[in-house]
Amino acid sequence: MPMPDFAADRRLIPRIAQVLPLLSSEEAVAPITSREQALALSHTPEAIARRKLVKAATEAIDSEKVVPFAGTSTETLTFESSPDGNVVPCHVTRPNGATAAPGVIYLHGGGMANLSAFDGNYRAFNRMMAREGAVVVAVDFRNSIVASASGEIGEFPAGLNDCVSAVRWVHANAESLSIDPARIVIAGESGGGNLTLATGMRLLREGDIDLLAGLYALCPYIALDRDGETFPSAVEFDGYFLRVLGEWGRYSYGVAAADAKDPLAWPIFAGTDDVAGLPPTVIRVNECDPLRDEGIAFFRTLLAAGVPARCDTVMGTMHAVEAIPNVCPEISRAAARDIVGHAG
């Protein structure tokens, strides 16, 4: 499948047009028919080699040049997730001298299936948010396909359980974390945007939504069946960093939840009853992103339910550019500032 001609797309910010060929693939998503096949394809020697290259590239982002280290500190803490009792590691990044600071619980991308909160690009982005005054808790929840630093994998709802447990742990330990418990928001990009919205809906169902002051989902990966009529961006921007047409999400995250159209697994299936009562929510999408239109569709559901919501489209950008802060640092800094500001 040919790669798009990024250089000819005048909608793209020039810097993004330059890096997209390095991040994108000519290969179509492999057709799969089972979770076992998704696991096998993700652990071939070729797949492992690709992950090593990605890991090296993200480590290079965590540098003084991209985001200065001065004025912040990071430590690794753990908490126990319910109901499974597994241990979840997290990075806590603080501005020096923080007391009763706004708290950001950040959930990494990777389609709920791979990547890690401990990757270099996330360490850098966490520092960006800490430099705006927040204590950032980056949660390394269980992925569904390739283990993060947690060392475990699990299909839905394993990762969601870890994220819900993270909110409760952060709130219960806010003082020792130097966080104001009344100013905690949850945020994440792509798969982390899915988990951000799902965590909010789960806490709402369970009567604990008051633990959060707000939700902030960047380029959320929340739909299953994509076509050019329902979500035109999925076809128009196929191959711009992502290729999301196909059955990968259904089989990688959990067939039962997909077949049930469970909104906690795939928030696009949420109705107004599922979201009414959520705290202020921001949906941030990227213009040249296959996932753009599903994020906008969820925003419409929020509005219909009376949720105080805002949707921003960042023009000229690709999927998740905010979480790759060496590409367009000014866009990443603006996002970091806005996420922290959402905590109040």
Per-residue pLDDT of the chain (344 residues; tens, 9 = 90+): 688 999 999 999 999 999 999 999 877 777 899 999 999 999 999 999 999 999 999 999 999 999 999 999 999 999 999 999 999 999 999 999 999 999 999 999 999 999 999 999 999 999 999 999 999 999 999 999 999 999 999 999 999 999 999 999 999 999 999 999 999 999 999 999 999 999 999 999 999 999 999 999 999 999 998 887 899 999 999 999 999 888 899 999 999 999 999 999 999 999 999 999 999 999 999 999 999 999 999 999 999 999 999 999 999 999 999 999 999 999 999 999 999 999 98
Q: Whole-angstrom Cα distance, residue 108 to residue 43? A: 21
Is residue 241 packed enough to be buried (19+ CB in 10 Å), middle (13-18) or exposed (0-12)? buried
Q: Which amino acid is at 153?
A: I
Query: Using the 8-state DSSP alphabet, how is residue 329 labeled?
Result: H
- Answer for the pair 143, 110: CB distance below 8 angstroms, yes or no: yes
Q: Which amino acid is at 126?
A: N
pTM, full prediction = 0.97
Q: Whole-angstrom Cα distance, residue 32 to residue 44? A: 15
Q: Whole-angstrom Cα distance, residue 45 to residue 86? A: 29
Residues 6+ apart with CB under 8 A from 328: 13, 15, 16, 317, 321
Helix 329-342 and helix 120-131, axial crossing angle in degrees, nearest 10? 60
Q: Whole-angstrom Cα distance, residue 244 to residue 197? A: 20
Of 222, 229, 217, the closest CA to residue 262 belongs to: 222
Helix 158-172 and helix 191-205, axial crossing angle in degrees, nearest 10? 70
Of 250, 259, 186, 201, the closest CA to residue 221 belongs to: 250
Q: How many CB atoms lie within 10 A of CB 272?
A: 13
Q: Which amino acid is at 47?
A: A
Q: What is the pLDDT of residue 1?
A: 67
The total number of residues written for the chain in this structure: 344
User: At which residue do the structure tokens 């499948």 appear?
Assistant: 1
Q: Whole-angstrom Cα distance, residue 257 to residue 155? A: 10
Q: What is the pLDDT of residue 337?
A: 98
Q: Kindly list the distances between the CA atom of residue 318 and the CA atoms of 14, 206, 286, 313, in Å, as whole numbers in the listed order.
A: 11, 35, 6, 11
- If one looks up domain 31-342 in CATH, what number appears? 3.40.50.1820
Q: Whole-angstrom Cα distance, residue 24 to residue 12? A: 15
Q: Kindly list the distances between the CA atom of residue 152 and the CA atoms of 37, 84, 184, 249, in Å, as whole numbers in the listed order.
A: 18, 12, 27, 19
| Residue extents of the structural domains in the chain | 31-342
- Answer for the pair 256, 266: CB distance below 8 angstroms, yes or no: no
Of 219, 225, 79, 81, the closest CA to residue 157 belongs to: 81
Q: Whole-angstrom Cα distance, residue 94 to residue 329? A: 20
3-state helix, strand, coil in the chain (%, to 5): 40, 15, 40
Q: Whole-angstrom Cα distance, residue 245 to residue 91? A: 33
